[in-house]
Amino acid sequence: MKTVYLDNNATTQVAEEVLDAMLPYFRDLYGNPSSMHTFGGQVGQKIRAAREQVAQLIGASPDEIIFTSCGTESDNAAIHSALVTRPDKKHIITSRVEHPAIRALAAHLAGQGYRVTELPVDKNGVLDLENLEKSMTPDTAVVSLMWGNNETGVIFPVEEAAAMAHERGILFHTDAVQSTGKIPINLKKNAIDMLSISGHKLNAPKGIGVLYVRKGTKFSPFLIGGHQERERRGGTENTPSIVGLGKACELAAQNMEKENTYVKNLRDKLEKELLSRIPQSRVNGDTGNRLPNTTNISFEFVEGEAILLLMNEQGICASSGSACTSGSLQPSHVLRAMGVPFTMAHGSIRFSLSIYNTAAEIDFVIDKMPAIIERLRGMSPFWNSGQQACKTQ
Ligand code: PLP
């Protein structure tokens, strides 16, 4: 059975060109970039080149790029540094829809005595900057807001938010894990102090990330050890993955516009057809301001995990907006923050596409989904009683 992979916000396929760029650094060029000999030194040169490739994609300087192990580490390192370098400030502002890499960290810090404000979003997942304005105080150390939401794709106005934070001397961090490579980012044109990237969301391997730290921003390392990354992150460099991420960033910079048009067209077709063929379905999130590859669709009165199981039987991979926590199926915190009604939130599916998807795959999914939802609704007491109620009204 063929796999139709529509779960690219979870992780992406490593691009062929990326793998090819990486392979020599496993096989032959395995020297330690910190070594004095030429064998290691040549690897160091390649790391410098990768740093430039990453910097190019986001409008940064190479020395503003710190390689990390993942997006989660980058997020943790950013918040950690903001708090350590501003020890007198005990307030953190974030949002209710952040990834756990920020949200769970903020909850942990709340337990350590920090005050955390989680900004709300409206029913479309949109952030109101007035709430940010009202929340900032002289005690605020850092504002951390994601650029693109991993579940709905909704884009936050992070450049405006960064400017607002800066006016008050507050540090601004953004989790750009989902938006890097999907929308243009130019850090020369905004006041963002720190930005997180994860390799495996943009066709580089898992286990590599970046934290951008604007020149002049005080930084305190999260991983303390050797002199790597100009004393900002200890640990021998993950050379093959750094080289791979550099290549992935180069490809993203070259192809972003063309690829986004292609992916957006497929996404829009999928969305339009599913909404028209499946009654009581709707899109979650601001459709006018989204990442081009993401759609989050609720199918009322069915359960997300059940939908995924039947999709899986057809070889279709996606994600559900509910998470099985401690035996009870809870709708995702993102959909709850948006106030999506319970019966809708439970049956939500995130489809996230990539350039590797084809029109034929999208047609296949459009063809299979209506029968999957119909079958599950046939078994749903809620759907059946809802239909009955409609008929008797
Ligand atoms: N932030 C966002 C918005 C994400 O979607 C993810 C991963 O899903 C992360 C952070 C964590 O990235 P990593 O898996 O590289 O730790």
Give the burial class of 389: count Cβ atoms within 10 A of its Cβ; 0-12 exposed, 13-18 middle, 19 or more buried.
exposed
Q: Which of 70, 249, 317, 324 is catalytic?
A: 324
Active site residue 324: yes
User: pLDDT at position 383, please?
Assistant: 77
- Residue 25, number of CB atoms within 10 A of its CB: 20
User: pLDDT at position 390, please?
Assistant: 42
User: pLDDT at position 328, please?
Assistant: 55
Q: Spell out, as residue ranges, where the chain has pLDDT lower than 70.
A: 321-329, 386-393
Considering only CA atoms, which of 100, 94, 56, 34 is closest in space to residue 233?
34
- CATH number for 4-9+256-392: choose from 3.40.50.2000, 3.40.50.1820, 3.90.1150.10, 3.40.50.720: 3.90.1150.10
Q: Where, residue-wise, is CATH 3.40.640.10 in the chain?
A: 16-252
CB 175 within 8 A of CB 144: yes
CB 300 within 8 A of CB 344: yes
Separation of alpha carbons 237 and 45, rounded Å: 12
Closest ligand 1 atom to Cα of 199: 15
Q: Where, residue-wise, is CATH 3.90.1150.10 in the chain?
A: 4-9+256-392
The string of pLDDT tens digits covering residues 311-337 is 999 999 999 866 554 455 678 999 999
Report residue 325 as tokens. 């926590």
User: pLDDT at position 386, please?
Assistant: 64
What's the 64 CA to ligand 1 centre distance in angstroms?
21
Complete DSSP assignment for 237-296: --HHHHHHHHHHHHHHHHHHHHHHHHHHHHHHHHHHHHHHHSSSEEE-S-TTSB-TTEEE
What's the 276 CA to ligand 1 centre distance in angstroms?
32
| Amino acid letter for position 112 | Q
Please state which CATH number belongs to domain 16-252. 3.40.640.10
pTM over 0.75: yes
